[in-house]
Every structure is written in C-alpha cells, then in structure tokens.
Amino acid sequence: MQLLSILKSNKTPFAISIVLGIFDNITKALIRFYDIDDVVVIENILELDLNFNTGIAFGILRDKAEFTFLLSFGVLIWLIYQFKNDFKNKIEEYAFIFVLGGAFGNLGERLVNLLNGNNGKVTDFIELLFIPSFNFADSFISVGIGLLIISELKNFKD
C-alpha cells in the first residue's frame, strides 16, 4: 500500500522514468527488427552492433537471468521507495529518475524475454571506443550514477 502511495505522490518523476524505459525498449526493438549489425557511425569511435546479454552490466552474472531479474526487481522497488524521502537537491532527484528509467528499460525487456523463452536476454547495440556493448537503459543508469556522485560531492562541499 505504501508503494502505491509513493507512486501516486510522485507521478511526474515516475512518468519520466517510464518514458525513458519505453524509449530504451523501442530503440532495442528497432535494432532487432532491422537486424542492425556492424554499422560504423564514427570510424574507430562509435558502432552499432546487435548483441545480447543475459547478465547485468558488462556481462556480469551471464546466464543467470532469473537471478539478475530478481536482483534488478529488488533494486527497482528500493529505487521507488527512495522517492518517499526528500531529495537533497534537484540533481539527486534527476539521478534517481535516470536510474529508475534505466531499470524500467532493462527489467521490462528481461521479463518479456524470460516469459517468452529467450533466456531473459537484454539487447545491447552501442559500442563506444573500448567500452563493452551497451544500450540506452545502461546509459541512463550510468548518467544517474554520475549525477548521484555530483550530488554527493556538492553536498560534501556545502
């Protein structure tokens, strides 16, 4: 019941997070539909290359999709509960919105792929320099974590 209360009182942040998750899933669906593979966008810097990941970031816990789904679902619930607290500043609030959006994106795709027998894989397609393949949800999570670090440094300084 408390979870629903938190969701109702924070409609805008959750709506933004859901839109980010939907955007992530649409881009992944387009990459799969058009079978985009080995497309060089910027030579030696950026490439689009269809890959699948059954683990979490950088392939950690590969082939443990059920476990990573449960772990990610737990993190999602924890993230939602963070919205009942007052954020120290807007940067911290935006950080949680981005992380939640990324969680919605990857968790939604993982759930669908667990239910339809595709081993809970998540679509990765962006290859940037030497960084392992990732997707927009991963980017949202990374931006959110970066914003959290900035927020904490700002709070530490004040």
- What was the pLDDT predicted at 116? 93
DSSP code, position 118: S
Q: Of 49, 86, 138, 158, which residue is the catalytic one?
A: 138
Query: What is the residue-wise DSSP string for 39-105?
Result: EEEETTTEEEEEEEESSSGGGTTTT-HHHHHHHHHHHHHHHHHHTTSPPSSHHHHHHHHHHHHHHHH
Using CA atoms, how far residue 71 sits from 12, 77, 81, 99, 110, in Å, is 25, 10, 16, 15, 12
- The yes-or-no answer on residue 138 being catalytic is yes
- What was the pLDDT predicted at 158? 62
Domain boundaries, the chain: 27-35+46-157
For residue 99, give both structure tokens. Answer: 């992380």
Which residues of the chain are modeled with pLDDT < 50?
Answer: none
Question: Is the pTM of the predicted complex or chain greater than 0.85?
Answer: yes
- What was the pLDDT predicted at 1? 59
Q: Of 63, 86, 124, 158, which residue is the catalytic one?
A: 124
- The yes-or-no answer on residue 38 being catalytic is no
- What was the pLDDT predicted at 73? 93
| Identity of the amino acid at 24 | D
**In contact, 97 and 105? CB cutoff 8 Å:** no
